[in-house]
Amino acid sequence: MRKEKIIQFGEGGFLRGFFDWMLQIIDETTDFGASAVIVQPIEKGTCDLLEAQNCRYSHVMRGLKNGEPTVEIKAIDVVSRTVKPYRNFGDYLALAENPDFRFVVSNTTEAGIAYDPDDRPEKAPFVTFPAKVALLLKRRFDLGLRGFIFLPCELIEKNGKTLKEFVLKYARDWNFGDAFCDWLDAENVFCDTLVDRIVTGYPKDEYDDLKANDRLLDTSELFHLWVIETDYDLLKEIPFDKTDLNVIITDNLERYRTRKVRILNGAHTAMIPYAMLRGIETVKECMEDESMSRFVRSCVFDEIIPTLDLPKEELISYANDVFERFENPYIRHLCASISLNSVSKFKVRVLPSILEYVKRTGRMPDKLLTSFAKLIDFYKTDMPNDDPAVMKFMKESDVARILSETKLWGTDLSFLTKEVEKRCGR
């Protein structure tokens, strides 16, 4: 018999295909014996549909495993019930009364972890996610119960620290008192996390037999990664280490974020403008094109990995996983979709590797500078989708002016002009 141990804010495809799938595996392979109660974080959602299916659904994972197309299907039954605060806020606050609840998992989108100075308790449930958490914790505190371990999955940096910051702001705004703030700080754990899995959601033209009985059928790639930063002994409470799940507990999440941004996102951004100039439409087609595949692999293995500080074997393994994901035959990832706002993406994802490579080696990174040149060539066409002012500037300016524009890059890149110029237009 499972106990309700997890409060989960969010019923969307991502959490169901990421955390709930993980919880299913933990329950099946250990004695953790936990279920999750899903809180619908916005007024309109799919909790009624979940309840109609007794909170059960199937999750389909598809991709390459050791180079072979693979499909895995798992039945998910770890959700015990749902709570809809916009229908009955009392039911939501009652969650604070159960001493078995220990974890709060959330995915309220990047905009969900927000602070609104106009929020007041009497406006609930029409308040932000951190405000709802503050009210739940205040009820918990008043009952003399222990706090929670927060595992937010929102795609913002320092998601746990930011959530805690905003909850404390509300506590002070609402005069919850120093004792409550001290309890929140001492008895609750707010972890920063990094999630990585492409969840493709409900399949449109596939799995008709499954869809006939499951309106919440979920799909994703095979790859998954969860990096959790905390100095708390998390494994004594949730046995990730007793499973084969790709969960990393660390005291330094930033190096893993840098790994993801520089290798996975950097590979995308380095190759997409070049690929679109050559008429290539999807990521998979990039991998099937011999010269494009060779180019992006050289970017990663020869010029990006040498700039990173994790063990080389770990970086190579991660890069190999990335390219296997790029080759996934079940996902049609359009280059045009990835090309949105390519200039700002290049600044964050690729430029740091260029600068670090020059710093560490004293040489110019040939392939990454070629990607820079192809970015500029790309913006001379009508294909980019970016801020109109950025597109106009890039289209009308020469290489020297573009590279010296500190508003775009955060620094003057004039020293790269000669190297980038000779790679443009070829």
Mean pLDDT is lowest, of 100-114, 164-178, 285-299, for 100-114
Mean pLDDT across 47-51:
96
Q: Tell if the pTM clears 0.75, that is, is over it.
A: yes
Kindly report the length of the chain: 426
Q: Which class in CATH covers the domain with range 3-250?
A: alpha beta
Which pLDDT value is given to residue 208?
84
The proportion of the chain whose per-residue pLDDT surpasses 70, expressed as a percent, equals 100
Q: Tell me the residue type at 266.
A: G
pLDDT at 207: 87
pLDDT tens, 392-410?
A: 999 999 999 999 999 999 9
Q: Give the Cβ contact number of residue 418 at 10 Å.
A: 11
* Token representation of residue 295: 């180019």
Domain with CATH 1.10.1040.10 in the chain: 254-421
| DSSP β-bridge partners for residue 6 | 36, 103
Q: 111 falls in which pLDDT band (50, 70, 90)? A: confident
Q: Does residue 6 have a pLDDT over 80?
A: yes
Over the stretch 57-80, which tens digit does the pLDDT of each residue have? 999 999 999 889 999 999 999 999
β-sheet bridge partners, residue 69: 64
Please give the pLDDT value at position 426. Answer: 66
- Please compute the mean of the pLDDT values over residues 74-102 and round it to a whole number: 98
- Fold (CATH) for 254-421: N-(1-d-carboxylethyl)-l-norvaline Dehydrogenase; domain 2 (1.10.1040)
Higher pLDDT residue, 20 or 155?
20
* Residues 6 or more apart whose Cβ sits within 8 Å of residue 137: 96, 147, 148, 167, 180, 184, 188
Between the two ends of the chain, the Cα-to-Cα distance in Å is: 65
DSSP-assigned letters across all residues of 256-317: HHHHIIIIIIHHHHHHHHHHHHTT--BHHHHHHSHHHHHHHHHIIIIIIGGG--S-HHHHHH
- 374 versus 1: which is more confidently predicted? 374
Task: Answer yes or no: is pLDDT of 423 > 70.
Answer: yes
Provide mean pLDDT across the span 169-197. 98
Average pLDDT over residues 104-122: 94
d(CA 240, CA 246): 9
For residue 160, CA distances in Å to 78, 150, 154, 215, 422 come to: 24, 7, 9, 32, 45
Structure tokens at 363: 């040489």
CA distance 355 to 410: 12
Residue in 166, 34, 43, 57 with CA at minimum distance from that of residue 103: 34
- In three-state secondary structure terms, 81 is strand
For the cut 90, the answer to whether the pLDDT of residue 210 exceeds it is no
**pLDDT at residue 110 is higher than 90:** no
Q: Is 171 helix (H, G, I), strand (E, B) or coil?
A: helix
* Backbone phi, psi, residue 194, to 5°: -130, 125
Among 167-181, 194-208, 231-245, which is the least confidently predicted range? 194-208
Q: How confident is the model at residue 230 (pLDDT cuts 50, 70, 90)?
A: very high
Question: Is residue 134 scored above 80 in pLDDT?
Answer: yes
- The continuous run of DSSP H or E covering 326 comes out as helix 312-326
In 3D space, the residue among 20, 22, 139, 32 whose CA is nearest the CA of residue 80 turns out to be 20
Per-residue pLDDT, averaged over 265-294, amounts to 97
Q: Where along the chain do the CATH 3.40.50.720 domains lie?
A: 3-250
